[in-house]
């Protein structure tokens, strides 16, 4: 007798919203154009001793990727208070540091990787590029794993750290941040905490601000491309977050607040 395991939809995400499920001890998610590259990388990470990422276990009969489920808490908007704590932020930065240390030995050459969120300056360290709270598993308030490597690509670790800061400090105006459930906080101090927890030196901190400058200047380009391609999930997000004005507002906010961040990182 064949027993079918019931599937439960997992919350969160935009690109794969509503299409990621749990069945027993496994997660099932759609395969994409870079799934083979991501699978090879995740298997390599586990063999290298890094357990803070999903372990691929096969491909389902319907073609979906099957990965081992990682027990823990994954925050989704509106983000709970505990996920906004300094302790949670520091733990993600530390996990990202360990991830980069492990991935430095991986050779990404000869494989296809997404360019949608990749470092425009390039690089050879395989980076995640989308470390938001919805892509982190926590246990007892501490980050233990990162999820969803769809946008992984070679780049500079400082760029990956800046992407994480943009999403999790967050480096964003109060109106947009509040729509995701973020409570008012000293964001410059949170960026300093993230940089310190990652172990970033003085030169790296200056580079972090420069990378954030470019990141904020390009804000909205990725989402707009998905909207223009007709992706319903991104169209919904674009509309709910206020369209182009949402990103223009972030640029104005960053121009006004930038010196506070520079001072905090000295």
Give me the CATH number covering residue 239.
3.90.1200.10
Same domain, 130 and 221: yes
Same domain, 182 and 93: yes
Same domain, 135 and 53: no
Same domain, 140 and 250: yes
Same domain, 158 and 56: no
- For 82-156, where are the alpha helices, taking DSSP H only? 86-103
pLDDT of residue 157: 98
- 78-92, 98-112, 115-129, 228-242: least confidently modelled range: 228-242
pLDDT of residue 3: 42
Is 99 contained in some domain?
yes
- For residue 235, what are its two tokens? 């169209």
Same domain, 89 and 188: yes
CA 148 to CA 128: how far, in whole Å?
Answer: 8
Straight-line distance from the first to the last Cα atom of the chain, in angstroms, rounded to the nearest whole number: 65
CA 246 to CA 196: how far, in whole Å?
Answer: 29
Is 74 contained in some domain?
no
- For residue 25, what are its two tokens? 């001890």
Pair type for strands 136-139 and 142-146: antiparallel
Same domain, 118 and 166: yes
Which one, of 20, 2, 4, 251, lies nearest residue 148 by Cα?
20
Is 75 contained in some domain?
no
pLDDT above 60: residue 128: yes
Please state the domain count of the chain: 2
pLDDT of residue 202: 96
Q: Give me the domain span that covers residue 31.
A: 8-68
- Reported pTM: 0.94
């Amino acid at each position: 007798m064949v027993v079918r395991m019931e599937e439960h939809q997992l919350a969160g995400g935009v690109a794969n919203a509503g299409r990621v499920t749990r069945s027993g001890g496994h997660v099932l998610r759609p395969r994409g154009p870079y799934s083979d590259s991501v699978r090879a990388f995740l298997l390599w990470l586990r063999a290298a001793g890094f357990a803070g990422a999903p372990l691929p276990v096969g491909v389902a009969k319907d073609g979906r990727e099957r990965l081992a489920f990682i027990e823990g808490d994954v925050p989704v908007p509106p983000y709970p208070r505990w996920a906004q704590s300094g302790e949670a932020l520091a733990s993600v930065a530390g996990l990202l540091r360990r991830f980069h240390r492990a991935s430095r030995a991986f050779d990404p050459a000869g494989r296809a990787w997404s360019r949608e969120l990749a470092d425009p300056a390039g690089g050879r360290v395989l980076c995640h590029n989308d470390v938001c709270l919805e892509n982190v598993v926590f246990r007892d308030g501490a980050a233990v794993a990162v999820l969803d490597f769809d946008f992984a690509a070679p780049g500079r670790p400082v760029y990956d750290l800046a992407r994480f800061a943009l999403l999790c400090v967050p480096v964003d105006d109060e109106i947009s941040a509040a729509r995701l459930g973020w409570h008012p906080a000293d964001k410059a101090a949170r960026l300093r905490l993230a940089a310190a927890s990652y172990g970033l030196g003085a030169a790296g901190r200056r580079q972090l601000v420069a990378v954030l400058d470019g990141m904020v200047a390009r804000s909205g380009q990725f989402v707009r491309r998905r909207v223009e391609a007709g992706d319903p999930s991104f169209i919904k997000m674009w509309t709910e977050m206020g369209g182009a004005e949402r990103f223009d507002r972030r640029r104005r906010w960053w121009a006004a607040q930038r010196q506070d961040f520079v001072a905090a990182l000295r």
